[in-house]
Structures are given as structure tokens and as C-alpha cells.
Amino acid sequence: MGVLTATVEGVGFWAHGLPSWDAAQAFAQSGALPADAPSRPSPQLLAPNERRRAPESVAVALEVGLAACAAAGRDPKHLPSVFTSTQGDMAITDYMCATLRDEPRTISPTKFHNSVHNAAAGYWTIGNGCMAPTTAISAYDASFAEGLLEALVQLATGSEAVLLACYDTQSVGPLSGIARSEGVLGAALVLSKHTPRTDAVQLCAELIDGEPEPAHGSLSLRYAGNLMAPMLPLFDALAGGDNCVMLKAGPHRLLRLTLSGAVLSRAERAP
């Protein structure tokens, strides 16, 4: 694979204690936490009743997706999308397995349709009236890197812009001993071929051999217990950190990201 490039037009972020990208940037740069942060994402794409009933995995994916599109000034109705999650919604998976074991006739149709790995993508396309293609990906601890690669390849093969949304939630049940995950974490990027603004960040990606170093950024350390934590070095960089990031992309493989533009300008202005 050669070098793939994109412009970061918009960013969305949600985690317990940091319910927006502005809050995440402020924390990464100064350690400041907002007061009275909500305990749960509340995506306005859904009607109020649906918003309350939606699983956290869906809620956080929609929340960050909408935020990234708003920041980019893009209509989500026209964007192809990539949704990536390590485990989907483990709480629903655990419920499904336990109910099928104990009381299979009582299984909830609503939880059943939320159990599929592309549930968030389905809510997104239906809620936005979006007819553009959408992809759902899981690749264990390489899930974010593989989702980003998919989005970059779509740009390289004809798409003008692509939404990438990534998320994971709390693990529960027997599987949590194998794939432990803490809290709720989600982020999204709107990536494009072009540079619509002078303050936009440009990203170059290349697959190389190697293993990732331990992450030391503020966001990476705070949310290290979530299964989507492998994405956080990039968001620490976007918030004003390093201009080169290594993400795990599979066994003994790395996705090397080089950032320039607004990130470089911040680094040059730093005292």
C-alpha cells in the first residue's frame, strides 16, 4: 500500500467527563474538565423516546458523527460512512446469550435488532435519510486503524468525503474477562480529498511493520481502559500533540500517520 492522504474537516468526541471535542482539546492541553458533564450522550438525530431507549453504543456513535458533520459543515445525508467498534454492544450480546439459554421465548425484538454490529450505522442512515454506502468494521485492537484505512481507501477510489465513527462501551458478562472495556468512548472524523479551509489538518497514512509504543497523551491515559483507546494517540495529536502517530493495524503492523497544517502550526507556536 502506498501513502494515503486526507484532510480532517471535522472532529467529534464523547467520553465520560469530556462530552465534546472542545472539552477534549481543553483537557489535553490544560487538564481542565468541564463542570456538570452529562452522564450519557444524547444524539439529537433520534426522537426523544428513541433517544432514551437507544443503547449507549448507538447513542455515542450518533452523537460524535453528528458533531463531526456539523464541524465540517457537511450534510450527513450525502456522506458515505464507516462505523468501527471492537465489540459492538457487549451488554446486548450478553443479554441475548443469557436469554437464549434461560428463556428464549422472552427475547426482546428491540434488543435483537440492536445486537447486530451495524446497528449504529443503520440508525445513522435511517435517521439522516442517507442513501450513501455505509460500512461496519471490527478488527479487535486494530479496529480504529482498519476503519481509518477503509475511509482513506474510499477517498482514494472516488469518494469526495467520508465520515468515520468509532466507539466502544462497557464490557459485561463472561466475555468481559477476555475483552475488558471501561466506560463509553466515541470519536468521529469527517475526511475529504480537498483542503476547504486554511486551518484544516492534513493527514498522510502509510502501513509499516512494527509494534506501537505505549501512549502517553492526556486522552490516552485517561481512557486507556476502553477498547477503543488505540484511537486516542491520533486525537491527542489533533488536540496539539505530536505530528507523527503510530496506530496498531494488526499483528506486527502499524499505521503511521503524519499530520500537518493546523497541528504543525500549533507545534511551532508552542513556547
**10-residue block means of pLDDT along the chain (271 residues)?**
91 97 95 90 85 87 96 96 93 88 89 85 93 96 97 96 97 86 96 79 96 94 96 95 92 96 50 38
The torsion region of residue 123 among left (phi > 0), alpha (psi -120 to 50) and beta comes to alpha
**pLDDT at site 42:** 86
pTM above 0.85, yes or no: yes
**pLDDT at site 245:** 96
**pLDDT at site 262:** 65
By C-alpha distance, which of 33, 29, 7, 31 is closest to 270? 29
Q: Which residues contact 199 (CB under 8 A, 6 or more apart)?
A: 261, 262
CA 203/CA 22 separation, integer angstroms: 20
* Superfamily the domain 7-199 falls into: Thiolase/Chalcone synthase (3.40.47.10)
**pLDDT at site 268:** 41
CA 209/CA 151 separation, integer angstroms: 21
Q: Which residues contact 156 (CB under 8 A, 6 or more apart)?
A: 4
